[in-house]
């Protein structure tokens, strides 16, 4: 499975957060696209509209399990997708910005 670390990501890289609504509301990466894994297949079109045409889709969840499943699905659809190792837990621990649904400082739950 293609995987990247938090350190491999640059500002402006496309990030897809597949955590559930309560997790997203508590804290997420600024600028990420949120499509919960539980709604993913039904909302797949939102990803194809938002993702860069020739770019990579970096998929993130809390720790890397759900995002690994979505990454495999995307690869089967021919999309260049990678799993973000360690997920939002490592993102937050690395000192990266986490905001809540009101754009205030957030936390990863």
Please identify every residue annotated as catalytic: 61
Closest among 97, 84, 106, 109 to 7, alpha carbons compared: 84
**Rounded to an integer, what distance in angstroms lies between the CA atom of residue 95 and that of residue 98?**
9
Q: Is 28 helix (H, G, I), strand (E, B) or coil?
A: strand
Summarize the chain as % helix, strand, coil (round to 5).
Answer: 35, 15, 50
């Amino acid at each position: 499975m293609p995987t990247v670390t938090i350190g491999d990501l640059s500002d402006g890289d496309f990030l897809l957060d597949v955590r559930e609504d309560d997790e997203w509301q508590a804290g997420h990466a600024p600028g990420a696209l949120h499509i919960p894994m539980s709604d993913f297949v039904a909302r797949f079109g939102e990803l194809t509209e938002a993702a860069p045409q020739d770019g990579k889709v970096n998929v993130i969840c809390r720790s890397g399990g759900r995002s690994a499943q979505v990454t495999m699905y995307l690869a089967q659809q021919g999309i260049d997708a990678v799993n973000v190792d360690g997920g939002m837990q490592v993102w937050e621990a690395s000192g990266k910005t986490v905001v809540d649904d009101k754009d205030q400082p957030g936390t990863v739950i």
